[in-house]
Amino acid sequence: MKKLLLFSAVFCLLVCSIYVQAAKKAKADLLNAKGAPVGAAVFTQKSDGVQLDLKVSGLTPGLHGFHIHAVGRCQAPDFASAGPHFNPEGKQHGWDNRMGNNWGDLKNREVARTAKPASV
């Protein structure tokens, strides 16, 4: 659960650092609770929706939550300033909710264990 909370908090920093590129893209730098960079998210407008490309590093292996929050402010240490999930339709929480998930709920992502580099 801590992993899910941490990654959710990190991702909410996205709202604070978005900038528009060529009117069809937005990029957000992702920071951890200590302010260190852990990756970036790029949103690209498409004719059928929005494509999200996410690149992260330094996360522990395992399942991580991924959410988009409603407020353009994310202040450490708990990131509560980001407010609730982005939810313009007033849907329920949880990607797999039978009543439909809110727009801020995205699928959890599995971070794979990486092999350690060989020593020279």
The SS3 of residue 103 is coil
- pTM of the complete model beyond 0.85: no
Domain assignment present for 42:
yes
Give the whole-angstrom CA distance, residue 36 versus residue 49: 31
Domain assignment present for 119:
no
**What's the total number of domains in the chain?**
1
Containing structural domain, residue 99? 2-111
Domain assignment present for 117:
no
Peptide bond before 77: cis, by omega within 30 degrees of 0?
yes
Give the whole-angstrom CA distance, residue 58 versus residue 8: 15
Domain assignment present for 88:
yes
Residue 73, pLDDT score = 76
Domain assignment present for 99:
yes
Render pLDDT for 36-59 as a digit per residue (tens, 0 to 9).
888 898 999 999 988 989 898 888
CATH number where 13 lies: 2.60.40.200
